[in-house]
Structure 1
């Protein structure tokens, strides 16, 4: 009798099936089969396994280890002389009929397939294999379909009972819920911890910081487990906290669970989470040993000379500097490093003085879009009520519910949920932390972690970008604010002593450069600039402003106007 090299393949469609009737049962049955049929095989067993991949959508065939097995069959490395041992044929595919190409393909290539649950062996030399395979796969598919239909019917009944009477939908309860007499009970202590997490996260604290503080306070996660950052993140994303049941990872069914977190707070926290997930603006880190936050402008800063990202470096005395990465890594930028603490001091001092009405003057909310969504929502609710009335009328007449009518109602309700969430996203405004009463020294103190994180949140909300550039004996630190309507330029000496300040305001095609009593108004469309207060400006401030404007792209023409002899004469005569 010909022996074959054994390959064992096991698959489960859900990660929760690793025990019981899942992997354990498959593995045990296959191992016993190999033991009983040892005379059929020779050589070491090669194991293939897919976890969390469904055979219905061909995921295991396209992406899993079964895909690699098939690839090696196609390449001729596996074939005649090999045997694939599986628990049942539906581990390979759930499609019924002999047109099922995966199983047929493997058998045609010479692979012998052993179904240990039947048991049956499929071999290309056996003319009955086609019929046997079709019967087995069809049976498994029908059984699965019946189970699915029963499960769906039970699911719908439980959901209706929950929505109607508030009954417990599932015995698998989230950490913050218990049950009593088939009714949900909110666990007060757990709910307070979750509310604290949302409050601290939206106030600027990161997931690792929140987890560390909970652990330090002896507050356990579940059982005796410690809090982890990903636990915090999962909680923030958990739709059940605002009462929603998530079905098939897409559809939200509201009012299934008691609401613990308000919609506004939930949306705000997830908006911040999404922003952090894509790395926008970076994230400050807390030193594990000192419990300090040493850099709250990380991610906001760019090199003013080459536009590169920056990093922080230390000198021998432990003093931190902001350093251009192009200079550090590639030696292709001549920008000098600049002290981190002094940059923070300058930025904090000037940001505290900024009129936020200038920065926030342009609303991020598209009111026209909101109006359209509100109108659509009204129409959808009218359509929803019309469908419900028609369904109830059919019930009264003891007529079977129309499938198209039921599907239409589902589609309408799904869209209502989408529109409601879109409107909520437009309306939720992230509160701006109040740092006006805090001293600069307190804001600079790296040990004031919560205050520093609130400051960080403030900066992220109002500042678009910070740049620094060295020009001769001067440094220019530029703070560009969100909405591109306001900019602040601070000119310092080598030791970062502030010498001059410039405010730049943008309104349409007009840009205004303010320096004390002196201002330059540039009209981009007309290509002209006008001066105000030139007779009152000091020569030092005038020429420092010229140096700054000259560092801006395509603004040299303004400097040329500033250096016209008649303008120089006015400046110098005013300070004879």
Structure 2
């Protein structure tokens, strides 16, 4: 007997197959597959339900793979041996094993259902009872009430004040470390990620986001089901939180957010004017757009809206718009504001372009000193080859995305950058999906 090679799945659930996918059982199965555990070895288990409590097909597959690989499985509770030889001689032994697996799975399913029902009752009474004593680091539980820790609440206000003045999380963390401010929960220095997590935590406004765990093919998904306002003591005013949130979002232009959301840092809510954010998993389990104000239960009741639906509508609308724009730019007469066919031009550029095309601004300042610091006009873009190239490139990016789709994260980020150069503002009604992209004084484009 090998008493050195031991596998223990302590506290790992066999109901959703986690032990066979990530636990020590997975290591054992891999050792059997690679031959580290030779054929003819005996696996001693208390009962078959210790091997798996997953659904009948998955549980049977685990037992079958072990037996076919030459492993003798011994159930100590009922003193049964499961091997290729024993099951060939007594096929009813496999039926007995299936009955054990079915019973174990049903027991776990009932326990899981009762646990979900208990949490549902807790959520329904959340306005009058404390849902859990597991609280954010700046709060504590005293005499049946949730109260702030004074010194931590004050530090939280300082962090948000610094962030509102434009300091990035890295500088805030360095300032706290230089001041020897002790970090919460663990003994160590403050880090950028810790500050960023605090700045993005809606609980500082008193809101409690509610979620529900669901399983699809044994994969856990956390679905949002609502936000409870006023559950926690409010440390930061919602207006301040939204301003800081917006500052941090603008600082991340072109970053990871744009790889998932082609509208990153572009859209605002038609109801309250707050930023529109992308949430990877909405109530239906798919990506949605949400109002930042509604996500902290503040002033806005705008619902979630399907991200895929608005992205598809945007591509369908801006594809022809960009194709027409490319033709007009190449044939435009900036002096007469008419194209080569005599038709009045349709404005495409706006002052937002100058924020990203500093080279053109610099060239104009050299040629016309009196215009130093002035934003280039559309005519300025058209009168220079580099300006026309900027506009054509952005229109081409939108046209390519409309024709081929946003198939990669890089394509989505490039399209987002082009949108933010072409349009300086966007308003979306999350109830109807109607969106207006504005080109400053140049007009707007309606998407519905």
Structure 2 length-normalised TM: 0.50
RMSD: 5.2
The whole-number CA distance in structure 2 between the counterparts of 1:93 and 1:113 is 13
Partner residue, 1:104: 64
Decide whether aligned partners of structure 1 residues 80 and 187 sit closer, same or farther in structure 2, where only a CA change above 3 A counts.
Answer: same
Decide whether aligned partners of structure 1 residues 261 and 148 sit closer, same or farther in structure 2, where only a CA change above 3 A counts.
Answer: farther
**How big is the shift at 1:510?**
4.2
The whole-number CA distance in structure 1 between the counterparts of 2:25 and 2:4 is 15
Q: Is residue 2:41 matched to residue 1:82?
A: yes
Residues 343-374 of structure 1, C-alpha deviations (whole Å, 9 max, x = no match): xxxxxxxxxxxxxxxxxxxxx7546x736999
Of the three residues 206, 209, 234, the one matched with 2:197 is: 234
1:199-278 equivalent positions in 2, closer than 5 A: 199-222=161-184, 225-229=187-191, 230-242=193-205, 243-247=207-211, 248=213, 249-251=222-224, 252-255=226-229, 256-270=231-245
Q: Is residue 2:344 matched to residue 1:370?
A: no
**How big is the shift at 1:102?**
1.8
8 Å Cα contact 1:5-1:82 kept in structure 2: no
Partner residue, 1:171: 133
Decide whether aligned partners of structure 1 residues 271 and 57 sit closer, same or farther in structure 2, where only a CA change above 3 A counts.
Answer: farther
3-state SS in 2 of match to 1:178: strand
8 Å Cα contact 1:215-1:226 kept in structure 2: no
Partner residue, 1:507: 377
Partner residue, 2:86: 126
8 Å Cα contact 2:169-2:196 kept in structure 1: yes
Gap runs ≥5 in structure 2 = 214-221, 257-264, 275-281, 300-352, 390-448
The whole-number CA distance in structure 1 between the counterparts of 2:49 and 2:244 is 43
The whole-number CA distance in structure 1 between the counterparts of 2:378 and 2:79 is 78
The whole-number CA distance in structure 1 between the counterparts of 2:198 and 2:132 is 19
Decide whether aligned partners of structure 1 residues 6 and 131 sit closer, same or farther in structure 2, where only a CA change above 3 A counts.
Answer: farther
**How big is the shift at 1:170?**
0.9
**How big is the shift at 1:141?**
2.4
The whole-number CA distance in structure 2 between the counterparts of 1:153 and 1:277 is 41
**How big is the shift at 1:80?**
1.4
Q: Is residue 2:115 matched to residue 1:137?
A: no
1:2-401 equivalent positions in 2, closer than 5 A: 8-11=6-9, 22=11, 55-62=14-21, 66-67=25-26, 69-71=28-30, 73-74=32-33, 78=37, 80-84=39-43, 89-90=48-49, 92-97=51-56, 100-114=60-74, 121-127=81-87, 129-163=93-127, 165=128, 167-222=129-184, 225-229=187-191, 230-242=193-205, 243-247=207-211, 248=213, 249-251=222-224, 252-255=226-229, 256-270=231-245, 280=255, 366=267, 370=270
**How big is the shift at 1:73?**
3.8
**How big is the shift at 1:85?**
5.0
Structure 1 length-normalised TM: 0.41
Q: Which has the higher contact order (CA 8 A, sep 6+)?
A: 2
**How big is the shift at 1:75?**
5.2
Residues 391-439 of structure 1, C-alpha deviations (whole Å, 9 max, x = no match): xxxxxxxxxxxxxxxxxxx969x99x964448779x99xxxxxxxxxxx
8 Å Cα contact 1:6-1:82 kept in structure 2: no
Partner residue, 1:304: none
Decide whether aligned partners of structure 1 residues 228 and 278 sit closer, same or farther in structure 2, where only a CA change above 3 A counts.
Answer: farther
The whole-number CA distance in structure 1 between the counterparts of 2:249 and 2:46 is 42
Decide whether aligned partners of structure 1 residues 132 and 168 sit closer, same or farther in structure 2, where only a CA change above 3 A counts.
Answer: same
Residues 510-541 of structure 1, C-alpha deviations (whole Å, 9 max, x = no match): 4288xxxxxx899959xxxxxxxxxxxxxxxx
Residues 234-281 of structure 1, C-alpha deviations (whole Å, 9 max, x = no match): 333434333123424431432343333344444554566667789849
The whole-number CA distance in structure 1 between the counterparts of 2:362 and 2:385 is 16
**How big is the shift at 1:193?**
1.3
3-state SS in 1 of match to 2:85: coil
3-state SS in 2 of match to 1:126: helix
3-state SS in 1 of match to 2:8: strand
3-state SS in 1 of match to 2:84: coil
8 Å Cα contact 1:87-1:117 kept in structure 2: yes
3-state SS in 1 of match to 2:182: coil
Residues 298-345 of structure 1, C-alpha deviations (whole Å, 9 max, x = no match): xxxxxxxxxxxxxxxxxxxxxxxxxxxxxxxxxxxxxxxxxxxxxxxx
**How big is the shift at 1:198?**
2.5
The whole-number CA distance in structure 2 between the counterparts of 1:208 and 1:199 is 15
The whole-number CA distance in structure 2 between the counterparts of 1:208 and 1:137 is 52
3-state SS in 1 of match to 2:184: coil
**How big is the shift at 1:55?**
4.5
Partner residue, 1:541: none
Decide whether aligned partners of structure 1 residues 76 and 143 sit closer, same or farther in structure 2, where only a CA change above 3 A counts.
Answer: same
